[in-house]
Structure 1
Amino acid sequence: MNFKNQIDFLRELQKNNNKEWMDANRKRYKEIRDDFIAWLDRMNVQLAEIDDGYYDTPGKKGINRINNNLMFHPNKPIYKDHFGAGLDKRPNTGDFYIEIGIERCMYAGGLWRPDPRRLRSIREAIDYNGEELEKILNKKSFQRTFGGLWEDVKLSNAPKGFSNDHPYIHLLRNKTFAVAKEFPTEEIFAMDFEQKVISVYQEMLPFRRYLNEAVTV
């Protein structure tokens, strides 16, 4: 994967964030996108080798569109400043997300503001065995990598059906169950970048397994 070509393209795109420029550079965009898909295919194979429960996710299925959704975000530019993709992307569960951008790069995973049914399932799992999730979140290497759950909207009181003195009320009040790690763009040019991707995937895996089991059982 020629990440330099990818970053150079993104920088030019942000200076010319309009359909006319993209149309004139469509062939170049497709070549870079295809290169990224091929890299995702390689990571798909490598991650499947270390995770028996991995859900096969070819690059074409994992990659996100580069267009922003202007229906919901009308004030955003037409095109994103990054390429993003999800791997281990089993339907209706939390995938392993990787983002390559000019301002930042990021690993992320879990469930961002899940629908009421899945949110209820996660809370029931915490009620049944919150100790396991707490152990995952408090692991030193997990803390060093992600720093804990992604900070997002929380309930001010206990959710319906749970008491405020629940031992895991600090987890039950969350509406988002996700983690993320940002890293400098320069890291993608390092010889050991793919190994770092694998290491972060492995560190995140118990957390994602906990959530995905909760929403699929």
Structure 2
Amino acid sequence: MDFKTLFNFLRELNKNNNKEWMDEHRKEYYEVRDFYIAWLNQLDIKLAKIDSNYAPTTGKQAINRINNNLLFHPNKPVYKDHFGAGLDKEKGKGDFYIHIGIKESFVAGGIYKPKKDRLDNIRAAIDYNGEEFKKILNKTSFKETFGGLMDAEKLKTSPKGFSKDHEHIELLRNKSFAVMHSLTQKEILKDDFQEKLIDIYMEMLPFRNYLNNAVSV
């Protein structure tokens, strides 16, 4: 079993996105899912060895359901076109998300659209020491890997309690603090794919640590 088989399964599922087809191919689905869980288990062990603050997360804990939530999104297809998983999971903090799909694949991390209390904590951290955050964001290798913060909704004015002339006002206006690195199928199919993800994880780590420290206050 390998990622080529996983991609092939997702393509067939995408063409036959209904419960009847899935029921007929349930065994194949479990085989692909089990392969991905085992692969995540291997990556989990490697990340735990290189990051002393890593929260061990088994593949079974990390992997997301392949069913779409039709209760809240009734117009979506029954099944997703990707396998998603979040490693380094710890309550209240942002995880390291891996998205393997036929339309797009990427890794992402940070805190996307946090609730008000968490957003307030992040803004307080930026107010207190925004220079450290800017140093992380402006590091050459970080910019080459992620470009910058993911495009998301921003305030048109300054947040409550902050002056529009604040030295970090452009950061403070953000409602999300997350980054993403796109992956190609060719990269995923290579033997060194896990090593590539480890490099990306380490590049993202200071960014995630800054945010996690902020929301844990």
What interval of TM-score do these two structures reach, taking the shorter chain for normalisation? over 0.9
1:75 CA drift (Å): 1.7
SS at match of 2:53: coil
Say yes or no: does 1:3 pair with 2:8. no
Please report how far the alpha carbon of residue 71 of structure 1 lies from its aligned counterpart in structure 2 after TM superposition. Answer: 2.2
Q: What CA distance in whole angstroms lies between the structure 2 residues aligned with 1:51 and 1:159? A: 34
Cα deviations by residue, 1:3-30 (Å, 9 ceiling, x for unpaired)? 1111110000000000110111111111
Query: Which position in structure 1 is the counterpart of 2:89?
Result: 89
The 2-side partners of 1:199 and 1:121 are apart by 28
| Distance in 1, Cα, partners of 2:192 & 2:114 | 34
- Do residues 145 (structure 1) and 145 (structure 2) align? yes
Equivalent residue, structure 2, for 1:22: 22
Distance of 1:70 and 1:92 partners within structure 2: 26
Contact 1:10 1:82 in 2 (8 A): yes
Distance 1:132 1:70 in 2: 42
The answer to whether residue 75 in structure 2 is matched with residue 66 in structure 1 is no
| Unaligned 5+ runs, structure 2 | none
Q: Which amino acid in 2 is paired with 1:30?
A: Y
Deviation at 1:183, TM superposition (A): 1.6
Provide the identity percentage: 61
Q: State how far apart, in whole Å, the 2-side matches of 1:163 and 1:75 are.
A: 42
Q: Deviations over 1:46-80 (max 9, x none)?
A: 00111010001011111011111222222211111
Kept in 2, the 8 Å contact 1:103–1:185? The answer is no
Q: TM-score of the superposition, structure 1-length normalised?
A: 0.98
1:98 is aligned to 98
Normalised by the size of structure 2, how large is the TM-score?
Answer: 0.98
In structure 2, the partner of 1:115 is 115
Higher mean displacement: 122-131 or 97-106: 97-106
Q: Which residue matches 2:48? A: 48
Find the aligned partners of 1:183 and 1:36 in 2 and give their Cα distance: 17
Aligned to 1:175: 175
In 2: Cα distance, 1:53 partner to 1:64 partner = 23
Q: Quote how far apart the aligned CAs of 1:110 are.
A: 0.6
The residue aligned with 2:196 is 196
Gaps of 5+ in 1: none
Corresponding residue number in structure 1 for 2:75: 75
3-state SS of paired residue (2:107): strand
Over the aligned positions, Cα root-mean-square deviation in angstroms equals 0.8
**What per-residue deviation string (whole Å, max 9, x for no partner) do you get for residues 146-171 of structure 1?**
00000100001110111100000000
* CA distance in 2 between partners of 1:178 and 1:159 (Å): 19
* AA in 2 matched with 1:164: K
CA offset digits 1:166-214 (Å, max 9, x no partner)? 0000000000100001121121111211110000000000000000000
Moved over 3 A (4+): none
Q: Deviations over 1:114-148 (max 9, x none)?
A: 00000000000000000011000000000001000
1:216 aligns with 216
Other structure's SS at 2:100 match? strand
User: CA separation in 1, counterparts of 2:63 and 2:155?
Assistant: 33
Distance 2:180 2:147 in 1: 8
Instruction: Tell me which residue corresponds to 2:207.
Output: 207
| 1:128 and 2:128 correspond | yes
